[in-house]
Amino acid sequence: MVTKLKLLLQKLHLLLALKALIFGALLWFVKASGFSWLALFLFVGVAVVIYARHLFQTLKFGYAFLLLLGTALLFVYRLPSAYLWLGCVYFGLAWLLLLGVKDVEFVHRDQAYALFNCGILYAVLLLFFTSNPATLFVPRLIGLGLVVSFLFGQILKFRRPVTNVTLAFVFIQLVWGISLLPIGFMQAANAGFIIAVAMIDFTLLHFKNLLTRNLVIKKLALYGALVLLIFLTSKWTLTP
């Protein structure tokens, strides 16, 4: 019985890997075709068919599915062709995580889903910081806040929107501050991501009543050191 179960899990994981490969290949095809309507239709159509093949929890993760598709397409659109393979692998893995959680093919589904949402958050931050700061900055900041509010809610599992919105509001203020610094987009995204992880960590510990003075000091020192390391290793350039 145990052997059969292991073989079944191995088969399911191989199918997941194949679906991730298909997703990445179609994403590459969309970019290679210059985002033609045919390629976009094929990409979205195949993704919907694979995602909705098993109706179990389809609606529950529907927003996450749409966010993944939108983020992947916009990310690949901006990505230089030399790094296209990296984007396809990145979002192929994100697709694998989402399907594995939705179809209950992972044992530690909460951790896998948190990893998926963190991956999308990092990609969204990269998109934000690679955009021209002089073009529609406030609307883009508001859009980032909405996406972050959703992702925080998915990770923290808070049913009260006010909590997620409050955290997202604080976060975008910090992102606004980071965007004013004369550092590269990668360093800015890394700093923003660490801050987001710190906020999630402290919030979870607070609601679990696990926060202590020593723990707060240790974690502040850890996250502060990571952000400081990013700033120290950044190339600060002032543009006239």
pLDDT for 124 equals 97
d(CA 31, CA 120): 19
Q: How many CB atoms lie within 10 A of CB 66?
A: 11
Close Cβ partners of 71 (under 8 Å, ≥ 6 residues apart): 91, 120, 123, 124, 127
Q: Half-sphere exposure of residue 82, counting CA atoms within 13 Å on the CB side? A: 0
Burial class (CB in 10 A: 0-12, 13-18, 19+), 1: exposed
Task: Find the Cα–Cα–Cα–Cα dihedral 31, 35, 38, 43, rounded to 10°.
Answer: 50
pLDDT of residue 157: 81
pLDDT string in tens for the chain (240-residue length): 545 545 545 556 688 889 999 999 999 999 999 999 999 999 999 999 999 887 778 888 999 999 999 999 999 999 988 899 999 999 999 999 999 899 877 878 899 999 999 999 999 999 999 987 777 888 899 999 999 999 999 998 866 778 889 999 999 999 999 998 888 889 999 999 999 999 999 998 988 888 889 999 999 999 999 999 999 888 877 654
Dihedral angle of Cα 185, 186, 188, 191, to the nearest 10 degrees = 170
Token pair listed for 205: 């510990």
The full 3-state SS of the chain, as one line of letters, equals CHHHHHHHHHHHHHHHHHHHHHHHHHHHHHHHCCCCHHHHHHHHHHHHHHHHCCCCCCCCCHHHHHHHHHHHHHHHHHCCHHHHHHHHHHHHHHHHHHHHHHCCCCCCHHHHHHHHHHHHHHHHHHHHHHCCCCCCHHHHHHHHHHHHHHHHHHHHCCCCHHHHHHHHHHHHHHHHHHHCCCCCHHHHHHHHHHHHHHHHHHHHHHHCCCCCHHHHHHHHHHHHHHHHHHHHCCCCCCCC
Dmax over CA atoms of the chain, in Å, equals 69
End-to-end CA distance of the chain: 69
Which two three-digit tokens encode residue 54? 């098993």
Amino acid identity at 137 = F
Alpha carbons 173 and 141: distance in angstroms, whole number? 9
Q: What integer pLDDT is reported at residue 235 of this predicted model?
A: 81
